[in-house]
Amino acid sequence: MKLSAEQLRQFEDEGFIIIPELFATEEVEVLKGEIPGVFAQRRDENVREKDGDTVRTGFATHTFNDVYARFVRHPRILGPAEEMLGGQVYVHQFKLNAKAAFNGDVWQWHQDYGTWKRDDDMPEARAMNLAVYLDDVSEFNGPLYLIPKSHKRGVLEAGHDVTTTSYPLWTLDEALIREMADEGGIVAPKGKAGTGFFFHSCLVHASPPNISPWDRMIVYVSYCNVDNHIRRFQRPEWIAHRDFTPLEAEADDCLLSQAGAAAE
Ligand code: SIN
Ligand code: MN
């Protein structure tokens, strides 16, 4: 899939693009159908909320689940990633962020590249998130908050938050967020399940707790240009991957044509 000139311009200017109906309802069902089995596994990759039970983040699912292995190679996300990152890419990080009804907790203000640079020694911000909503995202169930155009500020000063999130994250100071939000405002993109949400790795973002009765599952694939691979291997492999092999695209119908393949 190729992005339009207007979409590329919006990504450059605003730091993100939203693509309604990027994946069909049947494809979302295939992706969601895997989640109970994945989250039932007690493994390091499944990081839980403070209750010790509800899954907060499923990391690296694509490394042990066939459907998500195909998903990260899906041309509707891999194609735009190659286009926006200017060449072949690998998966630097994969997250199924559940933000479960009633229990899904906060993500503090941060830039993803701030952590990738400081912790993983990724040379440049030639990496980004291609996310897809797996539930309807509304104002109630913990949507992302974004500060448009904040990606143009480069890497901002940050502190190391080792308690709030699924893993230590470099988070931004309140005074700086106030200044940027007063200037650029905050947007919280809503959308139906299947919506694509692509954003720059320097875009400042956060999300509030989900006190609603509705889950808010979003899958994030953080692609990185293969030439820009990380140089430091201090974080677990399932948080910051070390397989820099370029991804090859699957067919556009790969989620539906092979649905149930593992069971046959
Ligand atoms: C993130 O910023 O990595 C996660 C935010 C969210 O899923 O709410
Ligand atoms: Mn983030």
- CATH code of residue 213: 2.60.120.620
Instruction: Considering only CA atoms, give the Rg of the chain.
Output: 17
For residue 207, which atom of ligand 1 is closest to its CA? 8
Tally of domains within the chain: 1
- Identify the CA nearest to 91 among candidates 230, 231, 251, 256: 230
**78 Cβ partners below 8 Å, 6+ apart?**
72, 89, 130, 223, 247, 249
Q: Cβ < 6 Å from ligand 1: which residues? A: 97, 99, 107, 144, 205, 207, 218
User: Distances in Å between the alpha carbon of 192 and those of 108, 132, 135, 138, 199?
Assistant: 24, 10, 7, 8, 18
Ramachandran angles phi, psi of 17, nearest 5°: -140, 150
User: What's the domain range around 129?
Assistant: 5-263
Q: Which of 205, 210, 212, 217 to mutate to test the pocket of ligand 1 (most atoms within 8 A of CB)?
A: 205
Q: Which helix (H) or strand (E) holds 128?
A: strand 127-133
Q: Tell me, in angstroms, the distance from the centre of ligand 2 to residue 264's CA.
A: 37
Q: Tell me, in angstroms, the distance from the centre of ligand 1 to residue 264's CA.
A: 35
Q: What pTM was computed for the model? A: 0.96
In this predicted structure, what is the pLDDT of residue 260?
Answer: 60
Q: Tell me, in angstroms, the distance from the centre of ligand 1 to residue 205's CA.
A: 8
Asked whether 38 and 65 are in contact (CB, 8 A), the reply is yes
- Please list the helix, strand and coil fractions of the chain in percent, rounded to the nearest 5, in that order: 30, 25, 45
pLDDT tens string for the chain (264 positions)? 889 999 999 999 999 999 999 999 999 999 999 999 999 999 999 999 999 999 999 999 999 999 999 999 999 999 999 999 999 999 999 999 999 999 999 999 999 999 999 999 999 999 999 999 999 999 999 999 999 999 999 999 899 888 877 778 899 999 999 999 999 999 999 999 999 999 999 999 999 999 999 999 999 999 999 999 999 999 999 999 999 999 999 999 999 997 665 544
Q: Tell me, in angstroms, the distance from the centre of ligand 2 to residue 140's CA.
A: 19
Q: Tell me, in angstroms, the distance from the centre of ligand 2 to residue 204's CA.
A: 8
In this predicted structure, what is the pLDDT of residue 212?
Answer: 98
In this predicted structure, what is the pLDDT of residue 235?
Answer: 96
Ligand closest to 116 (CA) is: 2
3-state secondary structure 17-29: EEECCCCCHHHHH
According to DSSP, the residues that pair with 55 across neighbouring strands are 48
Residue nearest to atom 8 of ligand 1 (CA): 207
Q: Which helix (H) or strand (E) holds 13?
A: helix 5-14
Three-state DSSP class for residue 179:
helix
In this predicted structure, what is the pLDDT of residue 263?
Answer: 45
Please name the amino acid found at residue 133.
Y
Three-state DSSP class for residue 69:
helix
Asked whether 81 and 223 are in contact (CB, 8 A), the reply is yes
